[in-house]
């Protein structure tokens, strides 16, 4: 059994950015000389994610808007739904994240990381990433403008 470990580094210009890293992962797998196995791609920070989806700029905008809707920056929406069995308006109390009491302002980034998930496993078959036609590996930065790290661990034969 072989293992091979490398780290990718990112320092984004914007707070939130979505970077396609399929080629970097593929290169690491090539260097590992693993023909059959798996590669784990896992963010080493708690305000970032790694996911597999489409390299289409409109969709990336949709993903970003969607994440911001469900986990808004700055203040946390405590949703009040209508009572059971009734139809009615949805109201919310917009309270600050409790995490911000520590002096941080990135409560939303932690929730975005949980929502997207911080890691994927890509199978390796005949020395290549065994991905579908449209599948691309993305690093999702939710609290950038600083140095961040992703571990890429290859395991197989």
Within 95-114, which residues bind a copy of itself (CB under 8 A)?
A: 95-102, 107, 110-111, 113-114
Q: Residue 43 burial by CB count (10 A; 0-12/13-18/19+): exposed, middle or buried?
A: buried
Nearer to a copy of itself, 13 or 85 (CB): 85
Using CB under 8 A, pick the residue from 11, 20, 74, 146 that binds a copy of itself.
74
For position 1 contacting a copy of itself by CB under 8 A, the verdict is: yes
Nearer to a copy of itself, 78 or 145 (CB): 78
Using CA atoms, how far apart are residues 67 and 138, in angstroms rounded to an integer? Answer: 15
For position 155 contacting a copy of itself by CB under 8 A, the verdict is: yes
Pairing of strands 2-11, 147-156: antiparallel
Cβ within 8 Å of residue 123, ≥6 positions away: 37, 38, 129, 130
Instruction: Give the footprint of a copy of itself on residues 54-73 (CB under 8 A).
Output: 54, 56, 58-59, 61-63, 65-66, 69-72
Using CB under 8 A, pick the residue from 11, 20, 30, 117 that binds a copy of itself.
117
């Amino acid at each position: 059994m072989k293992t091979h470990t490398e780290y990718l580094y990112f320092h984004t210009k914007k707070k939130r950015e979505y970077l396609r890293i399929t080629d970097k992962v593929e290169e690491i797998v090539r260097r590992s000389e693993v023909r059959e196995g798996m590669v784990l791609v896992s963010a080493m920070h708690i305000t970032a994610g790694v996911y597999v989806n489409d390299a289409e700029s409109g969709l990336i905008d949709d993903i970003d808007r969607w994440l911001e809707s469900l986990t808004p920056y700055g203040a946390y929406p405590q949703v009040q739904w209508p009572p059971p069995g009734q139809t009615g308006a949805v109201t919310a109390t917009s309270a600050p994240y409790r995490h911000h009491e520590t002096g941080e302002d990135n409560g939303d980034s932690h929730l975005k990381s949980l929502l997207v998930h911080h890691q994927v496993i890509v199978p390796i078959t005949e020395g290549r990433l065994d991905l579908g036609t449209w599948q691309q590996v993305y690093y999702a930065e939710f609290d950038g403008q600083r140095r961040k790290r992703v571990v890429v661990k290859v395991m197989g034969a």
